[in-house]
Amino acid sequence: MTQPGAPGPHASDGVAVAAERRWAVLVGIVIALLVAMMIFTGLHWASMPPSRVETVDVRTLHLRGEFVESNLGTTLGSDGKVTVRLIAQQYSFLPQCIVVPAEMPVTFRATATDTIHGFVVGKTNANTMLIPGFVATFTTSFRQTGEQLMPCHEYCGTGHEAMWGRVQVLPPAEFLAKARSAGGLACVPR
């Protein structure tokens, strides 16, 4: 029952339509902003979503195949390609310290053994999520030499904030000399 003097059904319809339109415009602006950010980071920072899915068996990870302990760390292939293999587990990276060259393409291949982890190397675009059962891989190159911290950036349990590794970025000549030396590319004494 309509009270005398109260706005009729048509007047309240108008208010509702105006409110909906304001929200539609606001959401449109937010979507446009997110798309613009994706285009900007894609073009300016060369970041991109993962392009393929590669799986690995978590149960046999440490027993055989690519991610056995002796195969982790940095390798310089006979074709000159630099590959870093690492695994993440509660609450450490294996290896804890990684040696890479500056100004050369470096391919990371990594996975997790127990739960979701992730890492980012300093302020570079070397950044990925690590999911048990999947191999995360990307290729990047480091512009600056020096040591960078590599923290886990996915909450993985009570020890998450203490989970981090180190990355030593060496000048290319020094890296190549170290790769060919007897000591190999380890940066922590074993």
Q: How far is the CB of 42 from ligand CUA (least distance, A)?
A: 26
Q: How far is the CB of 87 from ligand CUA (least distance, A)?
A: 11
For ligand CUA, give the closer residue by CB, 85 or 117. 117
For ligand CUA, give the closer residue by CB, 154 or 174. 154
Cis ω before 91 (30° cut-off from 0) = yes
**What burial letters (b/e) apply to 63-78, b meaning 16+ CB within 10 Å?**
eeeebeeeebbbebee
For ligand CUA, give the closer residue by CB, 117 or 178. 117
Q: Compute the Cα dihedral for 83, 89, 95, 101 and give only its sign.
A: positive
Q: How far is the CB of 86 from ligand CUA (least distance, A)?
A: 12
For ligand CUA, give the closer residue by CB, 75 or 164. 164
Q: How far is the CB of 126 from ligand CUA (least distance, A)?
A: 16
Instruction: Please choose, from the candidates 87, 85, 95, 118, the residue with its C-alpha nearest in 3D space to the C-alpha of residue 187.
Output: 95
CB 165 within 8 A of CB 152: no
Measure Cα distances from 119 to 40, 73, 88, 135, 178 in Å: 22, 15, 9, 14, 25
Distance (Å, rounded) from C-alpha 88 to C-alpha 154?
11
Instruction: Please choose, from the candidates 83, 43, 44, the residue with its C-alpha nearest in 3D space to the C-alpha of residue 179.
Output: 83
Q: How far is the CB of 156 from ligand CUA (least distance, A)?
A: 3
Q: Kindly list the residues in this chain that would bind ligand CUA in the complex (CB under 6 A).
A: 88, 91, 117, 152, 154-156, 160, 163
For ligand CUA, give the closer residue by CB, 132 or 184. 132
Residue with the two structure tokens 């293999």: 85
